[in-house]
Amino acid sequence: MYDYIVVGAGSAGCVVAARLSEDSKNKVLLLEAGKPDDKQEIRIPVAFSKLFHTEYDWNFTTEPEVATGDRRRYWPRGKTLGGSSSLNAMMYVRGHRTDYDQWQQAGNAGWGYDSVLPLFRKSERFIGGNGDTAFHGGEGPLVVGSQTSPNPMTKAFLAAGESLGLKRLGDINGSSQDGVALTHVNQYRGRRWSAADAFLRPALKRENLTVQTDCLVQGITFEGRRAVGVTYQRGGAVLSERAGRETILCAGAIGSPQILMLSGVGPAAPLSRLGISIVADLPGVGENLQDHLTSGVSYECCKPISLASAESLANLARYLLLGRGPLTSNVGEALAFIRSRAGLSAPDLELIFAPAYFMEHGAANPPGHGFTVGTILLRPESRGSVTLRSRSSEDAPVIRPNYLAARSDLDTLIAGVRYARRLVATEPFAAYRGAEVWPGASVVTDGELAEFVRAKSETLYHPVGTCRMGDDRQAVVDQTLRVRGVDNLRVADASIMPTIIGGHTHAPTVMIGEKAAEMIAG
């Protein structure tokens, strides 16, 4: 028997398992559905999209929805040690102070910005570049730093932002978010530094930590309303393990609600129709799904300096010998946070600059050199859901993001596309700017832009909210992340976010793991 069973070795699960195993009296089991993180493309930053649609990816697909052109949208999620931190663009962007204060104001004491900032600093080892020590840590395991080899066009993007009146920020995770800056990345010596690299790998030497891969959890085992362990598939066999103290779900915004519902914790009526015995009737499980939707503009580049030539032999040698060059690019090399209208308490749009085409996750890139300015809807009003397709853990759940159901979301993205065009039209881009490839110079009116956004927008890979933290009937977990209505079961991952943050979700998910571990240990 183990003291703790952690399900999912992603951005939070690696933290929880590693921190709990720091106490030699705790016997910890970490179960991961995917394989070990041993593929070369995981290490090479610019190659992250080559992991899409592989065995290291859950390869989810959303349901078609009228508001977004009846398209099924591809949702990559990491299925390996490190989870999506082994598959993402390595962008470390915490969000705005008000994001966390809003969580606290919604009834979650201890989750305000001033309370969680020490947890961000605890995780972090900030190296290189500008960084305010009031906001950054220097002793933690998670390496955060500036990029080693930004593209010349990335510098043009920064100058373009300044020409439009944006403040140049030395630290995107510092005291202010409004402005334009280089992206902070999770890299060490030019290579990806995932949650597995930071937290899990150093902990593997501990005898009290067991990590098993290729383990698909079927459900939580209950005795009455008390969680006592899990059942899972491995190598064709169905196995079970018991947890004497707690089971902690860290399977993400899709996996955690799916496992809860398969275990009889969720909305009673639909689960009963599938023949699932109800342990706790929690109608909020799987609801409140939020994600960052992205659109943007792409242009031909007049000079052969984009990431299209990153994989040359010379660049490979530079990368292997020095840990520098375009293979270290995270693609999203710089960003800007802006407000689409006056009166907002925080930016509602993010612009990400990529010195490359990045159309349909990179799958629809035209030949040649280009660049992209992505526009991201930071605070969507629309809410979606994750529901069960069947009683089998092998069947992917039904994902309905409900993108653009709120007209304000569409209007904000249209404003973002227009602003991106203004940026590219500035003098700093003159030497690089070719023809507009996407959506194309002929797409001008609000109606035409709306059609483009509906048809071509994609996920920025940030689903959250489906096991929402709160103190009301729809909340799934309380402020200590305990699942309501049952005992000895917590959720600790991006699914607990009441509202999506105005940044990127890896950083706050690591923080959630840190806070969960402290609460469990305390």
DSSP 27: -
For the chain, residues classed under CATH 3.30.410.40 are 148-182+293-379+404-456
**What pLDDT does residue 131 have?**
57
- In 3D space, the residue among 94, 112, 105 whose CA is nearest the CA of residue 176 turns out to be 94
For the record, the structure tokens of 10 come out as: 């992603």
Query: Helix, strand, or coil here: 132?
Result: coil
Architecture of domain 148-182+293-379+404-456: 2-Layer Sandwich (3.30)
**What pLDDT does residue 280 have?**
98
**What pLDDT does residue 28 have?**
98
What residues act catalytically? 462
Name the superfamily (CATH) of residues 1-145+189-291+383-401+463-522: FAD/NAD(P)-binding domain (3.50.50.60)
Euclidean distance between CA atoms 376 and 153, whole angstroms: 20
Residue with tokens 């020409």: 163
- Beta carbons within 8 Å of 1's beta carbon, 6+ residues apart: 27, 241, 242, 243, 244
- In 3D space, the residue among 333, 253, 331 whose CA is nearest the CA of residue 292 turns out to be 253
Euclidean distance between CA atoms 375 and 336, whole angstroms: 10
**What pLDDT does residue 125 have?**
95
What does the radius of gyration of the chain's CA atoms come to, in whole angstroms?
22
- Segment-wise mean pLDDT, segments of 10 residues, the chain, 522 residues: 97 98 97 96 93 96 94 96 97 96 96 97 85 84 92 96 95 93 95 97 97 98 98 95 98 98 98 97 98 96 91 86 89 96 93 92 88 97 98 97 97 97 97 95 95 95 98 96 98 98 98 98 88
Euclidean distance between CA atoms 340 and 350, whole angstroms: 10
Q: Are 76 and 361 in contact (CB under 8 A)?
A: yes
For the chain, residues classed under CATH 3.50.50.60 are 1-145+189-291+383-401+463-522
Euclidean distance between CA atoms 375 and 377, whole angstroms: 7
Burial 66-77 (b: 16+ CB within 10 A, else e): ebbbebebbbbb
Q: Are 100 and 515 in contact (CB under 8 A)?
A: no
**What pLDDT does residue 130 have?**
59
Euclidean distance between CA atoms 283 and 264, whole angstroms: 11
